Amino acid sequence: MFLASLSYKQRKIFLGLAKEILTIDDGLMDNHEEEYLRNLCSEMSLSFNDELVIEKSEIKDYFDEIESKKILLLELVALGHSNKDYHVEQDKYTDNICNLINVHINELRKIENLLEQYKKIQNEFIEYIES
């Protein structure tokens, strides 16, 4: 949704984090998750293997503006929900990232709540179209 607003380096770092959150629960990326991530790569003008892996302790150095922090968290949570199975390990992962970039946990909970509302509205549109 908002990844194009990130810098080139931030997008590459996001891609590395995205692969981590998608595989943290079982070590695998299912077909739906991979397809979703490939679409995000197109949005970011990156290839699927363009990730930049950094030490987690350095993440705050690359995501230092509040807007980029919110985009990072929003997109990671959305990725975790991409296969409709938000695993407890994915939730812990985003909690950790939130802490590392010095964002209050309430902001992350707000993002999660907004994404739930977004999914609900999206499902209502689908039901409307299909009826």
Model pLDDT for residues 88-110, shown as the tens digit of each residue: 888 899 999 999 999 999 999 99
Provide the pLDDT for residue 106. 95
Provide the pLDDT for residue 113. 92
When divided into structural domains, the chain yields a total of: 1
Chain centre distance of CA 6: 13
Provide the pLDDT for residue 93. 93
The answer to whether 114 and 77 have CB atoms below 8 angstroms apart is no
For 120, phi and psi rounded to 5 degrees? Answer: -65, -45
Secondary structure (3-state) at 48: coil
Residues of the chain with pLDDT under 70: 85
Provide the pLDDT for residue 29. 87
CATH of the domain at 62: 1.10.3680.10
Can you give the residue range of the structural domain that contains 105?
Answer: 3-130
Distance CA 110, CA 129 (A): 29
Provide the pLDDT for residue 31. 87
